Amino acid sequence: MACLGPKCSIYYMLISAWGVVMLAFLGLFFKIRCPALFEDLKMTEEEWEHHNFTIDFVQEKYDDSAINCWIAAGIYAVLFIFAFIQQRLNARQSYETS
Residue 1 counted as domain residue? no
In this predicted model, what pLDDT tens digit does every residue of 25-69 receive, in sequence order? Answer: 999 999 999 999 888 888 888 887 888 878 888 899 999 999 999
Q: Is 34 left (phi over 0), alpha (psi -120 to 50) or beta?
A: beta
Q: What is the domain count for the chain?
A: 1
Residue 87 counted as domain residue? yes
**For residue 95, what pLDDT band results from cuts at 50, 70 and 90?**
low
Q: What is the pLDDT of residue 65?
A: 94
Residue 11 counted as domain residue? yes
Residue 72 counted as domain residue? yes
Residue 68 counted as domain residue? yes
> What's the whole-model pTM score?
0.84
Burial class (CB in 10 A: 0-12, 13-18, 19+), 95: exposed
**For residue 75, what pLDDT band results from cuts at 50, 70 and 90?**
very high
Q: Which domain holds residue 27?
A: 6-97
Residue 44 counted as domain residue? yes
